[in-house]
Amino acid sequence: MTNAEPAPTLRELIERSNRLGSDRRNTNYGGGNTSAKGVVADPVSAEEVDVMWVKGSGGDLATLTTSGVSALRLDRVRALKDQYVDISQEDELHQLLDHCVFGPPGPAPSIDTSMHALLPAAHVDHLHPDSVIAIAASVDGEALTNEIFGDEIGWVPWQRPGFDLALKIEAMRAKSPLMRGVVMGGHGVSTWADTSDECERVSLDVIQRAAAFIEQRGKPEPLGPILPGFEPLGADERRRRATAFAPVLRDLASTDRRVIGRWFDDDNVLDFIGRQETPRLAPLGTSCPDHFIRTKVRPLLLDLPTSASFEDQTVRLRELHSEYRQQYRQYYEQHAGPETPPMRGADPAIFLIPGVGMFGFGADLHTAQVAGEFYVNAINVIRGAEAVSKYIPVSEAEKFGVEYWMLEELKLRRRPAPKPLAAKVAVACGTASEVGRAIACDYEEAGAVVVRVDGQDATAIDMAIEAAVLEYGGVDIMVGASAARGVDHLVAQGSGGDIVLVNQSQSMVTDLATSVKEKGINVNGIVGAEVLAKHVARAALALVDGSLRKTSGLIIPVRDDEQ
């Protein structure tokens, strides 16, 4: 068997996973995992081997392929039961899964692998649907689960995923052979069946029944009325204010490390921010581990109405940010132990601004987008839980245990090193030309988000700067013949940056560099006639990738190799 010729059971698993993951009502991005068990021939001995395929750690169900699946010998995973003594062995047993792999090395097995393996069913789904988590994160989640599903679906209280939880779910299934799944307190749902189609049907049935229960039995306004002065602003005014807020929030969110942002202003988000109960509920944070790992333990909610001046709102945001960082440090110090990894940063990943929307931040554009999407999931969970009960997330001690779990730390360490321009936003002028296009491509390859302007038109450049601020939180680099157009914005933004002028005079570069040197902005230039675009692009990259971070006022002459 090869990846090009997957076993039929593996092919079924991929197809089921893609269908489930393509609808975010079923599970969040990168969340959940699926598995299938089958028999294959050992390529060495030709003996038949019981194998389990399970989605690898960090993959996304919607785009899962065979390369994202871990294959393990079922007998070896189940033999770990003989090694298990108590819950203190969780990390050790999970790392032993590396010794259960069948075939060439693949992605790291999911943290839920043991649960998939110990269940006798051939097919298992573990998902994070908003509707089910809303039940799972309710004060009376167990009673609601029994009311909705009866004996078909069991309930297991919150417990960090791992071998001990797998044993408990295995025992529940052995005691109740007709049970088709379990709702996992504060977390999600796991279902199982003997065929792939039936497993998918059970999963969708559980999700839909939970959603229908909330719709039919839930309070119409579970978060209370919209507070006066906290109503959503009109679209044009939202956009104007978001453009003003974005660089301020990005600067705050980048206190420990530079991040990039995304703005969300869909109706669901705006409604949540303005509701009466949100100031009580938002500080409780999120519940599902996938949520709070990516959104931090809680968001930062601005507590001023839309009628407050921008200056007053900015002052208050800085006060709240300082309080947030202090509280996060206290949270870390309260729960950290001798083996806990170092604190990763105390800045919020999510900011909620009344009338304007939500801003999510992350180390790169994808991470920022996912942080925002996950908080949308959290909003749905909070709203659903409050509709039928009372929202109660897992404790902060448990959140900390997952956030700083050594297995999560190892996952972070496996990530590739950040690219030199990661979390930086560049506006590239003149990208219709070969040189401009080459510079933009090199910047993107180095990790930057690049907003392209075909020519050197001042209005087009101004629009590109505004778009970069609104979409990503600010501008870090201006490059091109007309890059000086962005100097006023970089100065007003107050967070430094780079300007790279192409084929401009030494006096222009020097004068501009002198005028902004106290603002933390480096201005350098590149000159060259009849040279290869790739050579100019390399010089443009060297000026902004940190290699020359102390250099300003420099002109780099570029010439052909033959000269």
Confidence at residue 97, expressed as pLDDT on a 0 to 100 scale: 92
CB atoms near residue 418 (< 10 Å): 13
Q: Is the pLDDT of residue 417 over 90?
A: no
Q: Which residue has the higher pLDDT, 535 or 529?
A: 535
Question: Across residues 248-276, what is the average pLDDT?
Answer: 96
Q: Which residue has the higher pLDDT, 562 or 162?
A: 162
Domain boundary among 364, 381, 414: 414
- Rounded percentage of the chain residues whose pLDDT exceeds 90: 78
Same domain as 396, residue 249? yes
Q: In this predicted structure, which of 87-91, 226-230, 234-238, 390-394 has the lowest mean pLDDT?
A: 87-91
Same domain as 331, residue 384? yes
| pLDDT band with cut points at 50, 70 and 90 for residue 561 | low
Q: Could you give the C-alpha distances from 494 to 253, 311, 314, 474, in angstroms and in order? A: 14, 15, 14, 10
Helix 235-253, helix 310-335: angle, nearest 10: 40
Give which of 363, 405, 379 is closest to 257, Cα–Cα.
363
CB 86 within 8 A of CB 57: no
Q: What is the CA radius of gyration of the chain?
A: 26
Question: Across residues 179-189, what is the average pLDDT?
Answer: 96
Q: In this predicted structure, which of 290-304, 355-369, 451-465 has the lowest mean pLDDT?
A: 290-304
Residues 178, 189: Cα–Cα separation, whole Å: 16
Domain boundary among 217, 247, 267: 217
Q: Is the pLDDT of residue 1 over 70?
A: no
Same domain as 512, residue 371? no
The distance of Cα 315 from the centroid of its chain, to the nearest Å, equals: 28
Residues 361, 180: Cα–Cα separation, whole Å: 39
Same domain as 379, residue 457? no
Question: Across residues 507-526, what is the average pLDDT?
Answer: 93
Residues 212, 553: Cα–Cα separation, whole Å: 64
Domain boundary among 188, 217, 246: 217
Same domain as 372, residue 433? no
Helices (H), 389-457: 396-403, 406-414, 434-445
| Amino acid letter for position 75 | D
> Do the domain assignments include residue 229?
no
Same domain as 372, residue 319? yes
> Do the domain assignments include residue 227?
no
pLDDT digits (tens, 9 = 90+) for 39-75: 998 888 889 999 999 999 888 999 999 999 999 999 9
CATH of the domain at 388: 3.40.225
pLDDT digits (tens, 9 = 90+) for 281-311: 999 998 877 777 788 889 999 999 999 999 9
From edge to edge, which strands make up the β-sheet containing 357-362? 260-264, 357-362, 350-353, 300-301
Provide the total of helices (H) and of strands (E) in the chain, helices listed first: 21, 17
Same domain as 248, residue 146? no
Q: Is the pLDDT of residue 202 over 90?
A: yes
Question: What is the pairing mode between strands 350-353 and 300-301?
Answer: parallel
Reading the block at residue 57, the tokens are: 């750690």
> Do the domain assignments include residue 562?
no
Residues 106, 158: Cα–Cα separation, whole Å: 30
pLDDT digits (tens, 9 = 90+) for 119-128: 999 999 999 9
> Do the domain assignments include residue 101?
yes
> Do the domain assignments include residue 44?
yes
CB proximity list for 38: less than 8 A, separation 6 or greater: 7, 8, 9, 10, 50, 51, 53, 122
Q: Could you give the C-alpha distances from 406 to 164, 346, 349, in angstroms and in order? A: 17, 19, 21
Same domain as 128, residue 86? yes
**Token pair 């005014």: residue:** 237
CATH of the domain at 504: 3.40.50.720
Same domain as 478, residue 332? no
Confidence at residue 422, expressed as pLDDT on a 0 to 100 scale: 92
CB proximity list for 238: less than 8 A, separation 6 or greater: 232, 265, 355, 356, 357
Question: Across residues 189-193, what is the average pLDDT?
Answer: 98
> Global pTM?
0.93
CB 291 within 8 A of CB 350: no
CB 456 within 8 A of CB 482: yes
pLDDT digits (tens, 9 = 90+) for 241-257: 999 999 999 999 999 99
Confidence at residue 405, expressed as pLDDT on a 0 to 100 scale: 84
- pLDDT, mean over the chain: 93
CB 487 within 8 A of CB 499: yes
Q: Could you give the C-alpha distances from 123 to 132, 180, 249, in angstroms and in order? A: 20, 11, 45
Q: Which residue has the higher pLDDT, 528 or 219?
A: 219
CATH of the domain at 117: 3.40.225.10
The Cα angle at residue 333 between residues 328 and 334, in degrees rounded to 5 = 95
> Do the domain assignments include residue 225?
no
Q: How many domains does the chain have?
A: 3
CB atoms near residue 364 (< 10 Å): 18
| pLDDT band with cut points at 50, 70 and 90 for residue 521 | very high
| pLDDT band with cut points at 50, 70 and 90 for residue 275 | very high
Which residues form the domain of 470?
425-557
- Rounded percentage of the chain residues whose pLDDT exceeds 70: 98
Same domain as 490, residue 348? no
Burial pattern 143-165, b for ≥16 Cβ within 10 A else e, equals ebbeebbeebbbbbebbbbbbbb
Q: Is the pLDDT of residue 5 over 60?
A: no
String of DSSP letters for 186-255: TTEEEEEESSHHHHHHHHHHHHHHHHHHHHHHS-SSTT-PBPTT-SPPPHHHHHHHHHHHHHHHHHHHTS
Q: Is the pLDDT of residue 4 over 60?
A: no
CB proximity list for 83: less than 8 A, separation 6 or greater: 89, 93, 96
Q: At residue 102, what are phi and psi to the nearest 5 degrees?
A: -110, 125
Give which of 238, 372, 248, 227 is closest to 317, Cα–Cα.
248
Enter the DSSP assignment of 495: S
> Do the domain assignments include residue 419?
no
> Do the domain assignments include residue 43?
yes
Same domain as 249, residue 156? no
Same domain as 207, residue 166? yes
Confidence at residue 3, expressed as pLDDT on a 0 to 100 scale: 42
CB proximity list for 342: less than 8 A, separation 6 or greater: none
String of DSSP letters for 15-79: HHHHHHHTSTTT--TT--EEEEEEEEE-TTT--EEEEEEEEBTT--GGG--GGGEEEEEHHHHHH
